Amino acid sequence: MTIREADLFSYYLSSLPMVKKAVVYERTADAAIVFEGDRQELIRQILQFRCEDETLNEIVPRDSGRALNQKYKEKLLQKAAVRVCTKLFFPAPLRAVCTALQSVRYLAKGIRCLLHRQLDVEVLDAAAISVSMLRMDFDTAGSVMFLLGIGELLEEWTHKKSVGDLARSMSLKIEKVWQEADGCEVLVPISQIREGDRIVVHTGNVIPLDGVVVSGEAMVNQASMTGESAPVRKTADHYVYAGTAVEEGAITLCVKKAAGSTRFERIVTMIEESEKLKSSLESKASTLADALVPWSLGGTILTWLLTRSATRALSILMVDFSCALKLAMPLSVLSAMREAGSHQITVKGGSYLEAIAEASTIVFDKTGTLTKAKPTVADIIPFEGRDPNELLRIAACLEEHFPHSMANAIVQESAKRGLIHEEMHSKVDYIVAHGIASYIGDSRVVIGSSHFVFEDETCIVPEGEREVFDSLSPAYSHLYMAIGGRLAAVICIQDPLREEAPEVIRALRDLGISKIVMMTGDSEQTARSIASQIGVDEYYSEVLPEDKAQYIEREKKKGRKVIMVGDGINDSPALAAADVGIAVSEGAEIAREIADITISTDALWQLVTLKALSNALMKRVRTNYRAVIGFNLGLIFLGVGGILQPAASALLHNTSTLVISLKSMTNLLK
């Protein structure tokens, strides 16, 4: 099978309801399948697979990582085969010539470091290989270079695989877009969009495809592509990239690259160049490794001066701390990020796992985070004798353009009641954390919070209906809808608490979080009720986006590491301000783009998994430090004492480096 055929077949098998697990082997065109149910039925479904299936080709990503794995497996096998053949079939003189030729690369690296006045691990490697060859010990020199080469390949493979896995998890997962057709906006599957089509992107949405703006104006957050923290103004004729997010405004763009073809490659480049990928753990390990090189060289010279034994002096050169420190720490971090991915947690950089481990404060948004991601409309209370269904139809018509769980609840309730709505309004304006506004004919329609409708928009409660207004149930969240400056309806949203929330709060405390805070734009009564049920330390009601961000900044000034968990457009400033911003995957697309970590919404338990994973990573790093320093110091003492020969020291040192590195690649959690 080709790589592409294997990817398609693997995805097809995984999509079958009967299949629990499937592994496809492209070399032999085989598949190992674990399934439940009737074997003949499974075989019948397998026989329906066609590589030419257009729908399948659109769904399955082009970059699966299979080609990368195949490439590095071949490299490792090739290197091992060459080493075995050389040892078994080459005479000693020919082996010596091969070793001398191989050494040129390592010697050149060492000389280059010295010319730049740097004492790095390359100098130690070059010195160890040079001394071995000067002593005519070509077997030791060859073993050292073989193990160094294996280590380099393993590091490169793991790094590229982790980056690829991370990039795939960060790639766009947009299923539908608003296409402009005959002056109207139609919601269509993204697979139907072709180059030259026009699509509309509203506030809070991610731009799904590369294109050129043809109309409208928007402030676009390009942090995921360029690293720019400030949003960039985009107007007609400006180019916009897939994966960037509209913070404010709305644009219509002409698609230039269907299916976001370059998104994956740009993310890979961004990750590889971004310092966010490197945690301070890796920087400390690299700094310590380089700092130990002069001591190793000094110890070698001192040993030779005191003992006049080249063998004992060489045993120090054969053992350096740099290899294990520089290899094990990055592998630990990258493997932890990959393991997080297996739990449907996307971590955009190693530094965030370290920050999670050190965090003492966590701030939760309420709606869609501590409460269920899919609220429902419990009731519609009309005013002035209006028809509830007509009011719901108008609300759904306006809300369907905006990505928020409450907006989704209104749209779904409208569909459930079979209410068909046409675009009868003018352009809809989204006011972050407040609501939306538009015009139907000459009447201004606003939907949003009490603060927005009654204070900002100065709408009034109709005469004689104050009693109905004052008797609204505090058990629900309320969306207020006003037409022409008069309250038309209150939409009661049932937003039940997640069953697991109280247990998750307790588990986070057990894992080291000392301060748990809830913030919401809801009323004081609703906030107090939820806070008492889940047991948070503090809660704040009727807050604005800037209030959340300011609270986080105050906590950081006190020296506390802060985690923010949210899902809406209004959470974006706080997600950006926190040491670690965590967005739930069903929330607003812009929140997912700005956040440092994304979790799925199936359960809050993923936060506990994330905290436990981060704590375990820090524990592994400390264990690695002790193992590397302790074992290699022991080898140095045994070598200086004449107990171990240089070849044995080199073998044990490189073997320990590989063992520690392979251990660092294993899962942290059971």
CATH of the domain at 39: 3.30.70
CA distance 218 to 234: 5
- Long-range own/partner contacts, residues 86-91 (CB < 8 A, 24 or more apart): 86/142
| pLDDT reported for residue 362 | 94
Is the pLDDT assigned to residue 136 strictly greater than 60? Answer: yes
pLDDT tens digits, 243-289:
777 877 889 999 886 654 445 555 566 555 544 445 566 667 667 77
Same domain, 160 and 181: no
| pLDDT reported for residue 610 | 93
Which of 222-231, 537-546, 567-576 shows the lowest mean pLDDT across its residues? 222-231
CA distance 60 to 458: 51
Q: Identify the band that residue 443 occupies on the pLDDT scale cut at 50, 70 and 90.
A: confident
Same domain, 633 and 597: no
Same domain, 363 and 382: no
pTM listed for this prediction:
0.68
Same domain, 475 and 585: no
Pairing of strands 562-566, 361-365: parallel
> Which bin fits 600, alpha (ψ -120 to 50), beta or left (φ > 0)?
beta
Which of 34-38, 422-426, 526-530, 618-622 shows the lowest mean pLDDT across its residues? 422-426
Same domain, 107 and 253: no
Which of 290-299, 349-358, 545-554, 609-618 shows the lowest mean pLDDT across its residues? 290-299
Same domain, 501 and 590: yes
Q: Looking at the domain assignment, is residue 319 inside a domain?
A: yes
For the domain that residue 250 is a member of, what is the CATH number? Answer: 2.70.150.10
Give the residue from 265, 290, 321 where a domain finishes.
265
H or E, element range at 34:
strand 30-35
Give the residue from 579, 601, 623 where a domain finishes.
601
Same domain, 490 and 501: no
For the domain that residue 578 is a member of, what is the CATH number? Answer: 3.40.50.1000
Q: Looking at the domain assignment, is residue 625 inside a domain?
A: yes
Find all residues with CB under 8 Å of 346, minimum gap 6, and list them.
166, 169, 170, 340, 597, 598, 599
| pLDDT reported for residue 601 | 58
| pLDDT reported for residue 260 | 44
Same domain, 468 and 515: no
Give the residue from 265, 285, 316 where a domain finishes.
265
Same domain, 280 and 140: yes
Same domain, 39 and 78: no
Q: Identify the band that residue 472 occupies on the pLDDT scale cut at 50, 70 and 90.
A: confident
DSSP state, 454? I
Which of 423-427, 433-437, 536-540 shows the lowest mean pLDDT across its residues? 423-427
Q: Looking at the domain assignment, is residue 606 inside a domain?
A: no
| pLDDT reported for residue 263 | 55
For the residues 202-230, what does the mean pLDDT come to? 76
DSSP for 570-603? GGHHHHHHSSEEEEETTS-HHHHHH-SEEE-SS-
CA distances from 660 to 192, 622, 656 (A): 49, 12, 6
pLDDT tens digits, 371-407:
876 778 889 999 999 999 999 988 888 887 666 667 8
Q: Looking at the domain assignment, is residue 670 inside a domain?
A: no
Q: Determine what percent of the chain is predicted with pLDDT higher than 70.
A: 85
Is the pLDDT assigned to residue 162 strictly greater than 60? Answer: yes
Q: Looking at the domain assignment, is residue 191 inside a domain?
A: yes
Same domain, 314 and 365: no
| pLDDT reported for residue 658 | 77
Most confident region among 18-22, 32-36, 424-428 by mean pLDDT: 32-36
Q: Determine what percent of the chain is predicted with pLDDT higher than 90.
A: 19
For the domain that residue 462 is a member of, what is the CATH number? Answer: 3.40.1110.10
Is the pLDDT assigned to residue 169 strictly greater than 80? Answer: no
Q: Identify the band that residue 208 occupies on the pLDDT scale cut at 50, 70 and 90.
A: confident
Q: Among residues 116, 117, 144, 123, which one has the least CA distance to residue 297?
A: 123
| pLDDT reported for residue 342 | 79
Neighbours of 459 (CB within 10 A): 20
| pLDDT reported for residue 197 | 87
Is the pLDDT assigned to residue 522 strictly greater than 80? Answer: no
Q: Looking at the domain assignment, is residue 411 inside a domain?
A: yes
SS3 content of the chain, % helix, strand, coil (to 5): 55, 20, 25
User: Quick one: 635 exposed, middle or buried, by C-beta within 10 A (0-12, 13-18, 19+)?
Assistant: buried
Q: Looking at the domain assignment, is residue 609 inside a domain?
A: no
Q: Looking at the domain assignment, is residue 9 inside a domain?
A: yes
Asked whether 340 and 610 are in contact (CB, 8 A), the reply is: yes
Parent domain of 95 = 70-167+275-333+615-664
| pLDDT reported for residue 243 | 72
| pLDDT reported for residue 28 | 92
CA distance 249 to 63: 33
| pLDDT reported for residue 261 | 46
Looking at the structure of the chain, the number of domains it has is 5
Same domain, 420 and 506: no
